Amino acid sequence: MKDVLSPEHFNLTLVNWASKYGRHDLPWQQHPTPYSVHVSEIMLQQTQVTTVIEYFKRWMSAFPNLLALANADEDEVMSHWQGLGYYSRARNLQKAARYLVDEFSGHYPRTLKQIEQIPGVGRYTAGAIVSFAYNERGPIVDGNVRRLFCRYFAIEGVPSTTEVNNKLWQYAEHYTLAKNCRAYAQSLLDMGAMICTPKSPDCPNCPINDSCQAYQTDRVAQLPTPKPKKHTPTKIGQFLWIEQNNQLYLQKRPAPGIWAGLWCLPQLDTEQIREVAPSQRKGTFKHVFSHYKLDAEVLNANSTEQLSGQFFSPKQIVSLGLPTPIRKFIGKHLANTK
């Protein structure tokens, strides 16, 4: 069996492959700055490229630079993130902008260690910013690299365990050179997205298949080792529909917690949940999260006593940041909010 390539040979082979077959037209690849790379990398966390593209364009128009984001209203920020999910990313992005303005005069630091101190920026994102914005050496391990390396080096074990994760970062450190930095990082992502895919990888067209340890031993389909899946519980939710003069009562969701920072129908906490007659019911909806399912009903109510929210007109609601299922429900039940 052929051994794995040296870091030098590996780098050159992938960069050469990506120059022909890689992605070069993504919006964030056109004029990369530390800020635009930062924004795109946060948006791309656990989110598909096709989903991010329009959000990225709108965000860069609304908040073209660090200062604009630092000075923006939080509701304005959240409304531009609505529908993208994992909303702490948006709040951390603004926190990061304020941190960089306050501590670094609005200029990004240059070193990996400093960049990793930015709120919401972990080891992967720090490496990506250094690679893509500065074209300097910044090792990365994301889902693409994890899959590619687990197969190429035939790494057994669940990747999220400390042992395997450490091994992956060791390979990343060893195989990331101080040359072709931007092109090499991008080639890893492109390989993971276009060749070394989760299902039906395109091994015949892989530029390094003859030295891939999994391919040589027919274990591509078994690597990376799948994570044992766990049962997702179903939670019951009750929300209040309080409408006066065609205005709707909404509350801002607290952090931490689901939908933090978004505006939502008031939700009864677990102790307040009660049986209700069908006549009180405005409607129901179901929603699936990554870690549980939500069965919800929306109850008609009149009083806003004890509640800390405010009324909004349909026109105001349209430009607010709302959770996706709540926005859908409101759109169905309140005029002029679609």
CA–CA separation, 218 and 2 (whole Å): 14
For DNA, the closer of residues 159 and 215 by Cβ is 159
CB-nearer residue toward DNA: 281 or 287? 287
> Taking each helix axis from N to C terminus, what angle separates 7-21 and 162-175, rounded to the nearest 10 degrees?
80
CA 262 to chain centre: 17
222 binds DNA (CB under 7 A): no
Q: Cβ 194 to DNA, closest distance in Å?
A: 9
Q: Which of residues 3-42 bind DNA (CB under 7 A)?
A: 23, 26, 28-29, 40-41
Total residues contacting DNA by CB under 7 A comes to 59
The one among 101, 112, 123, 304 contacting DNA by CB under 7 A: 123
Question: DSSP class of residue 138?
Answer: -
Shortest reach from residue 207's CB to DNA, in Å:
18
Backbone φ and ψ of 36, nearest 5°: -65, -35
Residue 162 interacting with DNA (CB under 7 A): yes
Rounded Cα–Cα distance for residues 319 and 80 (Å): 9
Q: Amino acid identity of 281? A: R
| Nearer of residues 40 and 213 to DNA, judged by Cβ | 40
Residue 57 CB, shortest distance to DNA, in Å, is 14
B/e letters for 236-250, b = 16+ CB within 10 Å, e = fewer, are ebbbbbbeeeebbbb
Tell the burial category of 88 from Cβ atoms under 10 Å away from its Cβ (0-12, 13-18, 19+): middle
Positions marked catalytic: 41
Residue 48 in the binding site for DNA (CB under 7 A): yes
Answer yes or no whether residue 254 interacts with DNA by CB under 7 A: no
Contacting positions for DNA (CB under 7 A)? 23, 26, 28-29, 40-41, 44-51, 83-88, 92, 119-126, 128, 142-144, 147, 161-162, 186, 189, 192-193, 198-199, 226-227, 229-230, 256-260, 287-291, 323-325
